[in-house]
A and B are shown apart, each in its own frame.
Chain A
């Protein structure tokens, strides 16, 4: 038994070492920093107790990050779920070349967020062909300086990026549904609507559950698109947790305060995902899907 344990530990040691160096130590270090006013370079620094946390909770940037995340979630999750479901349904129904189309839709996921954001920035600039065309019809939108449109533009880019990835998971879910079930249902005379709600959705639930949790997780980690397109503005309308942490840590060089914000963000993320996960499980159980 001892011998088996030793070999097990030996094989697990690279991961354990990785986790200790890149996860546990930074986490403990960050927790320590969050109680100080250290800027990482000063030889003199002071313990501030919970001051950083109190200051963070009162800060408009942090308050905005809390609400903006849920706004992004409300805009991004439904769009990405519907679009990835639609893509998965179409690909599932294809007689041939499913893999090829899946790769095609997956490509935006591999695209650099910086590049796609810069392209969108060009497309939405005041003198772009798109806006010149809209102005011919009297439509004048300040896409990135209006709170709602800025939020929707960022949500749309991220939805575009993740649709193919989630469609891949959902397609695997569709492929896993036994065709015999549909045949039996057809014999029983079920309608297309019943077929979707009573057969497809329950059997797709595990894949859908995964996609929902992943997309909710993405809402808490938005950074590149916001950084490139809006910088968190206008007036904090797109200020995400990551954006706020970046600004405090790397622009204002307030490492202690930024650590406190990061810890608050982790707690909010963890608690939110836990609650949403429980709700999703309850939804599945109530419908008898799990």
Chain B
């Protein structure tokens, strides 16, 4: 009887131990007996960035035999943010990871889950060596700390179907709201079944979708004025209203298609859309007929009439590297050494640019000779490099999801559907955002 009881207890304990052991994936890094520091680096879950970071880790290890860099992809189930959150909660966060946007970094920083990089030795050297002192300024958080090392700063541009514009008699890409509306009238006169902007996302309140419509136009209209500062709503009313009125005018002209459509820009159903540099590799394979300066052109967002049409600001789709607070002092130091190794050599940024087509977040991207040959070969990416200094990253509030959902739900979505007038939309959005910030 005792034997059976013991066997039963042993079995139960074994199963419990195995099950619980299965829940753990170990900690973010370690220092072994031979004095080697191991850091774990979670890279974006796409094959090109995996290859890049593995190559960087190998090269770094050759020069730094005392540090091991283990590169693995961030799990995307259910989302990469949730995976990181679960890892932190389960005490299995890596030492560092990339693919972190400013809003998510703000959420993590508020929970004290990130290391302020400016407090780690080697940060100033990194900024100087990579020539990114100006670019990084817009990344400073409300508490004056820098939690993210921006890898790329991708100023979002608008693509125009210049072949269709020319066909309807518009030879220059419109730069102001009036010019856009004139182009719409000409387009509709000749092609009533075509639209200026065919994008189902305009009617979708999902938070991140506002980066690629509202914020591009707002950053341009406001000259890069902040929308939220810390816990304060500081958006410029006039600029915000101008953007919504512009959207409302387009809706009245039947220039917006807010239904889901398949490849609307490529098929010519719409002649204007937000474009990121990642699109071009996809087009090379699927739409080889899309040729820069033949079928499509790139431009900064249109601005209200009378505003300066040069040096226009736009939203920056930017992501970077963070070091997690669970990392030990040695691991933090090793992580900074790894970043310094990668970013002290412009050739590594060039390799990144060639691999991902995403513009490195450097002040000298359009002037450094290391990148000249690349941009000569890929002229469609040059406008992105030129716009880096005018690119505004996302808001750094931990509630960015809720706040940006309010922009969609109360302002952009109903205005593009013609359900509310821009003034009412802006007023209700402001009210909802202010209430959210008070919580």
Contact = CB atoms under 8 A, between A and B. Distances in A.
A231 B15 contact: no
Interface stretch (B45-53, B253-261, B367-375): B253-261
Interface residues of B, number: 47
Interface stretch (B32-40, B197-205, B240-248, B353-361): B197-205
B434 interface: no
Interface in B1-57: 1, 4-5, 7-8, 11-12, 15-16, 19-20
A125 B261 contact: yes
Contacts of A234: 203
B251 interface: no
B311 interface: no
Interface string A103-142: 0000000000000000001101111100000000000001
B111 A39 contact: yes
A23 interface: no
A44 B20 CA distance: 26
Most buried by B among A41, A43, A121, A125: A41
B262 interface: yes
B345 interface: no
A121 B260 contact: yes
Contact of B269 (A6, A126, A249): A126
B261 A127 contact: yes
A128 B401 CA distance: 32
Contacts of A43: 111-112
A3 B8 CA distance: 12
Nearest to A2: B1
B16 A17 contact: yes
Nearest to B16: A17
B15 A17 contact: yes
Interface string A5-35: 0110110011001000100000000000000
Given A41-B108, A43-B111, A142-B259, A13 B15 contact: yes
A9 B12 CA distance: 10
18 contacts: A3-B4, A13-B8, A39-B107, A40-B85, A41-B85, A41-B111, A42-B112, A42-B113, A43-B111, A122-B262, A125-B262, A127-B264, A142-B259, A145-B200, A231-B205, A250-B81, A252-B401, A253-B401
Interface of B: 1, 4-5, 7-8, 11-12, 15-16, 19-20, 78-79, 81-82, 85-86, 88-89, 107-108, 110-113, 198, 200, 203-207, 257-262, 264, 267, 269, 399, 401-402, 409, 413, 417
